[in-house]
Amino acid sequence: FLAAIWKFKEKPNNYDVLIIIPLLSFLVTTCFTLVYPHMGMRVAINSVLYATLAAFIFFEMLQPPERSLRLIFTINAVAIILYVMAMITRALVSFQSKQIDLMAPTPESMILFSAISLAEIVLTFGFIIMVNVRLSQDLIRQNSMKDKFISIIAHDLKNHIGNILGYRKRVV
């Protein structure tokens, strides 16, 4: 999402953030799976990393590139806050236990995964709406440029065709 926002805002990608956080997540998973098997610690640290990445996304959502996108950026920022809260809750709950079953259908995990899924769905539709708004604005801009171009050509042709018709009447 972060790379997509930067591309949408026509900002350069900060590859440090885009590479370091997934790399840290890979190292944490490897360390707490193979070296020191502690599932709760692994889930907690990864959740904090994902919450950190979501915080970067939240701060990018606070500055929409255009006024017409302010509402959808605000809605996406709220969805990101929901995601951050879910990740922090996941970290706090996971940190307390050494063995956890991530796929156990407990009420807490169902609420947590529902909140994360809802946030991701809202963000996905938000990005679709942002792209549609941008495409609509580009289409309006291109149509006005096309109309201006056609009016210039029509004006130029009208003068020349009028001259040709005028000479034809004199000759006949």
- DSSP-derived letter for residue 13 is P
Write down the pLDDT at residue 141. Answer: 92
Closest CA to 89 of 62, 122, 60, 50: 50
CA angle 141, 13, 79 (to 5 degrees): 75
Distance CA 134, CA 141 (A): 11
Q: Model pTM?
A: 0.73
What tokens does 137 get? 């604005």
Tell me, what amino acid is at 78? V
What's the whole-number average pLDDT of the chain?
83
* Whether the predicted pLDDT of 55 surpasses 70: yes
Contact 81, 116 (CB under 8 A): no
Distance CA 136, CA 133 (A): 5
* Whether the predicted pLDDT of 5 surpasses 80: yes
Reported confidence tier of residue 143, pLDDT bands at 50, 70, 90? very high
* Whether the predicted pLDDT of 156 surpasses 80: no
Write down the pLDDT at residue 102. Answer: 64
* Whether the predicted pLDDT of 108 surpasses 80: no
Write down the pLDDT at residue 140. Answer: 93
Reported confidence tier of residue 92, pLDDT bands at 50, 70, 90? confident
Listing DSSP states for 72-134 in one string gives: HHHHHHHHHHHHHHHHHHHHHHHHT-SS--TT---HHHHHHHHHHHHHHHHHHHHHHHHHHHH
Which of 64-68, 69-73, 168-172 has the least mean pLDDT? 168-172
pLDDT in tens, 7-23: 888 888 888 877 888 88
Contact 73, 59 (CB under 8 A): no
